[in-house]
Amino acid sequence: MHVGLDFDNTIVSYDRVFHRVAVEQGLVPPHIPATKNDVRDFLRDEGREHAWIELQGYVYGARYREAVPFPGVTEFFRRCRVQAVPVSIVSHRTRYPFAGRRYDLHQAAHEWLREFLGAESVKGTSVSVFLELTKSSKLERIASEECTVFVDDLPEFLAEPGFPPDVERILFDPYDVHELPEPCIQRARSWQEIERMILGRGAPAAWTF
């Protein structure tokens, strides 16, 4: 088994930081739900797509340290370590924002991951990290890493025609808002579900650290 994972909005949650920054900057009223998608939808409904694009660059580049792992992510990595399951993080992320200040988005992601993977709870897990510039290179990396399962938050990516056919696909959909584009794609609404779907197979009934 070789687990492949997307990064943004799959491992790491930006929901609260997007809301916090948008309120700080006066872009949205405080009563808007504290999720990234609700902030995005509010700005788009007001015809402020450029403000949304700049906000993304600022959050991903300057406020990334405020982002947190989704609940259950740490436990998943810890169990991968215990069961000696290798993990490849494969993300499609531009190097610099499309608008606003020129933050190095790859450096920001690597710094967040360095801190996360260096924590005692997950240290020692076999993890490779790849930040790809295009969707096609992300697909190629999933294939070259020989992932047997891949988890992503974007249904359209999992349904890409070039997706490696032998890789099991899991859609991480914590708010249960997406339609499954293909019957072969499974849905997980939490990392506890992902853990059961991937590591529950043949896993010991109990394990220690």
Q: CA 151 to CA 117: how far, in whole Å?
A: 18
Residues in the chain: 209
pTM listed for this prediction: 0.90
Fold of the 3-13+68-199 domain:
Rossmann fold (3.40.50)
Q: CA 181 to CA 57: how far, in whole Å?
A: 29
Q: What's residue 51's pLDDT?
A: 96
Q: What is the mean pLDDT of each run of 10 residues along the chain (209 residues)?
A: 96 96 97 95 96 95 94 95 95 88 92 91 90 96 97 96 96 93 93 95 39
Phi-psi group of 9: left, alpha or beta (phi > 0 → left; psi -120 to 50 → alpha; rest → beta): left
71: tokens are 């609940």
E strand or H helix at 179, and its extent?
Answer: none
Candidates 194, 178, 145, 182; CA nearest to 11 is 194
61: tokens are 């580049």
Q: CA 101 to CA 54: how far, in whole Å?
A: 8
